[in-house]
């Protein structure tokens, strides 16, 4: 099978896989009762009326985790071809991978020492 044929399966899968979870939603939409009123539709916050805007400003810590994750993600993507070809590679390739990972670890140690990994 050619590459595109293989992916045709994934394409068909993506095109129809969402129908199965959507079907119960549709059935539910057809049969369920509708007795909405303003109080019922209020945001649930332990019985107290909600105060202010929900979409408040978040703290920067989430962003830092996202950033550290992004850097690691990109690094890992580079490591996968390296791992794939590893059986045909020599010690030089191991050294290249070692240096690559070592530089990555540097960044982790820096983040650690700067307390960027603390949830505070």
Partner 1 sequence: MQSTCVDVIETLAPCLATGGMDPGLAQFISILIGVVLVTLFPLVLVILLIWLERKIAARVQDRIGPNRVGPFGLFQNLADAVKLIIKEDITPAGADRLIYNVAPITAVLSTTLIWAVVPFSPIHIGVDLSIGVLYFVAIGSFGTLSVIMAGWSSNNKYALLGSFRAVAALVSYEVPTVLALLIPVLLTGSMGMEAIVRAQIGMWFIVPALVSAIIFYVANLAETGRAPFDLIEAESEIVAGYNIEYSGMKFGLFMANEFMHAFTANLLFAVIFLGGWSGPLAEQIPFLGFIWLMVKTFLLYIPSLILRATIPRVRIDQMMSFNWKFLVPISIVNVLVTAFLLQVVKALGWMPAPDNYDFLAHVPEALVLLIGNLLLIAGVLTMLRNAGRREREATEASEGEAGREADHAIVVAH
Partner 2 sequence: MLQLNVQTIAFFIFAIFALGGALGVVTSRNLIHGALYLIVSLFGGAGFFVLLSAPFIAVVQVLVYIGAIAILIIFAVMLTRSMTGMRELFNSQWWVSALVGVLLFILLAVAVIFPMWGNSGSEGSQPKSDQVATTQDLGVALVDGNQYVLPFEVASLLLTGAMIGAIVIARDTTED
Identify the residue among 6, 78, 106, 114 touching partner 1 (CB under 8 A): 6
When asked if residue 31 is in the footprint of partner 1 (CB under 8 A), the reply is: yes
When asked if residue 4 is in the footprint of partner 2 (CB under 8 A), the reply is: yes
- What CA–CA distance (Å, rounded) separates 32 from 66? 40
Using alpha carbons only, what angle is made at residue 83 by residues 90 and 81, rounded to the nearest 5 degrees?
Answer: 105
DSSP string, 50-74: P-S-SSPPPPTHHHHHHHHHHHHHH
When asked if residue 107 is in the footprint of partner 1 (CB under 8 A), the reply is: no
Query: Inter-axis angle of helices 3-17 and 19-31, to 10 degrees?
Result: 10
Q: Tell which positions 35-94 bind partner 2, by CB under 8 A.
A: 53, 55, 57-64, 66-71, 73-75, 77-78, 80-86, 88-89, 92-93
Identify the residue among 60, 74, 78, 85 touching partner 1 (CB under 8 A): 85
Identify the residue among 74, 78, 86, 114 touching partner 1 (CB under 8 A): 86
């Amino acid at each position: 099978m050619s590459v595109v044929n293989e992916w045709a399966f994934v394409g068909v899968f993506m095109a129809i896989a969402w129908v199965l979870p959507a079907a119960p939603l549709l059935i539910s939409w057809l049969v369920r009762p509708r007795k909405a009123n303003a109080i019922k539709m209020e945001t649930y916050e332990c019985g107290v009326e909600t105060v202010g805007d929900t979409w408040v400003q978040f703290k920067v810590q989430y962003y830092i985790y996202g950033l550290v994750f992004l850097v690691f993600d990109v690094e890992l993507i580079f490591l996968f071809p390296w791992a794939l070809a590893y059986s045909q590679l020599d010690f030089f390739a191991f050294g290249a991978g070692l240096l690559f990972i070592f530089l990555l670890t540097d960044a982790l140690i820096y983040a650690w020492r700067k307390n960027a990994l603390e949830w505070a």
